[in-house]
Amino acid sequence: MFRRTKAPHPQETPSLAQPAPATADKIASVSVPVSATAGESRSSSASTMTPSTAVDVFFLTFNCAKNFIDVPVFATHLHTALKQRAELPDLVVFSLQEVAPIAYSFIGSYFLNPYLTRYEEALNLAADVLNNPEALEDAPGGDGAISPLTRATLVAPPVYTLVRSKNVGMTAILLFARDPKTVADVQEAEVGFGAAEMGNKGAVGLRIVYEGVGSDKSSEMTFVATHLAAMEWNLARRNANWAAIMRSMTFDNPEKILQPRKPSGSSSGGASSSADAQEAGNGRASVEEAVRLLHNQVNEESILMQQRLHDISVFKPTSHLFVGGDLNYRISATSPPPDADFPSLDPESEHYYPQFLPLDQLTRERLSGRTLHGLSEHRIEFPPTYKYDILPAESSTLRDPLNVRWKFAPHRYPSWTDRILYLDIAPWTKARLSKATPEMKVHSYDCMPVVSSSDHRPVFLRVEVPVIDKVDLIPPKELEDGVSAATVAEWNLDPRMKLPVTIDPEAWERRAAARKKEVMAGWSMFLWSTQEGALILGTFMVAIVLGWWLYQGW
């Protein structure tokens, strides 16, 4: 199907914008500001925020390959992405996959925090430079160029506050806000795709209510970070992973909703008995009428229960949904043969990468209704984001960390595995607000340059989310004025109108059990597969032997 006439040549990463050249010494001299507490935020940044009809969101997904990032380098690429708009975004969301080694990820907390903290440092370093370009002019080695690599020290509170971080195994989500007071009612959800539903792969979500500065309106948003099944031939499993997100990832325990309602109080029961007796005595009630009333009551309770289950799913009708991660969809169902043609970044090449986009599995499966139901994706104008082989620098003295030498790995078809999708404004909302024409305004959907710590490129989405009254987001229960029956039939295909799957009521408890298994597995792997664990085991064994020797001598 594909044929490679020549082996792929080493290439240099084309930057989104050409940053100032930097050396390893300059990187080493960068001083990263220490994170503040959750209550702190930059006052100058918050004060510039004005009432708005939209929320500016920056969503980034990155497969970290279980490595630490180089904070100044990552901050430089973030800086280039963020400066495409004059203002900093209100919210920043990081979806991170393979964020740390599996043992550290399963244990979490103390072992995972050093990996996550670096992303907070990189974000605030990039935002700090954008907020204070004048501070760079006198920085050692700086020439006024706005790049985090040219500044040495800038003492200031961080621009962004980490509102919430959450992980399921090696998949994590970080939510930052310029003003943490604007974020309320944070909810969490998670699901694992691994053995016994553990989180070596899985999905984790945050749901928030954003209350804009100086505005009485709010906007509810749901962010999902996920890592689906790998390998070219695992298409069906990737689709099944997405189905598990729809079915099992809920923001509350479904059992609470499905529990049978308690019987009514004695007063209402007495009134009902009295009414029944009166009806029987008067002879006006019939068996058919009683059955009809009972059927109506059961039907109303069932509809209410389905609405409540819908509201705890990822497809809550009044919430804007974003899904980003290493979705792992490829351009082929098989590994490439030795002579396969690979996408090229050269516009003059006959294999220029846009020609390979029609082969993308995700687009085909999504449009066929087999995955990412109802979600939209902005047009892709960036090269494949996976899989990269990092090449050594031509000379240690000429090493440029911003321009990594790479080639596509020969055993994997280069593919757009890292993606960000979203739910567009519901059609019934657009119909109700036809004069205002609300829209998800995408400003950029792009990838960052290759970094030496991963075989994936980071991908980011910058979008303005309109603030819409909740009443206009609620799906119609009956035919509205000016809306045809055919239009309503089309609306019924929207997952906010009707869930594509049935919510699994036992998934919440199974996930809690899987989490306990993760902790046990994490500690086992830590003790038997890491140097720190070997040291602990060795110390423990020495203590046992020493104790036994002392006991015998006593």
Length of the chain: 554
Question: 177-226: per-residue pLDDT in tens?
Answer: 999 999 999 999 999 998 889 988 999 999 999 998 777 789 999 999 99
Query: From edge to edge, which strands make up the β-sheet containing 11-12?
Result: 11-12, 405-408, 388-390
Domain limits, the chain:
54-133+147-257+299-505, 518-553
| Mean pLDDT for back-to-back runs of 10 residues, the chain (554 residues) | 40 42 37 37 39 87 97 93 94 98 91 96 92 62 49 68 97 97 96 90 97 84 98 96 97 88 47 51 60 64 88 97 98 94 95 97 97 97 97 72 92 97 95 86 97 97 95 83 77 92 93 92 84 77 80 76
Question: 392-421: per-residue pLDDT in tens?
Answer: 877 665 677 888 999 999 999 999 999 999
- pLDDT at position 484, please? 79
Please give the backbone phi and psi of residue 391, each rounded to the nearest 5 degrees, phi first: -100, 150
- pLDDT at position 397, please? 54
- On whether the pTM is more than 0.85, the answer is no
- pLDDT at position 276, please? 53
- Helix 531-553 / helix 507-529 crossing angle, nearest 10 deg: 70
Tell the burial category of 26 from Cβ atoms under 10 Å away from its Cβ (0-12, 13-18, 19+). Answer: buried
- pLDDT at position 435, please? 79
| 216-247 as b/e: b if 16+ CB within 10 A | eebbbbbbbbbbbbeebebbebbbebbebbbb
> What is the CATH code for 54-133+147-257+299-505?
3.60.10.10
- What is the 3-state composition of the chain as percent helix, strand, coil, each rounded to the nearest 5? 35, 20, 45
Q: Which residues contact 339 (CB under 8 A, 6 or more apart)?
A: 3, 4, 5
CA 246 to chain centre: 15
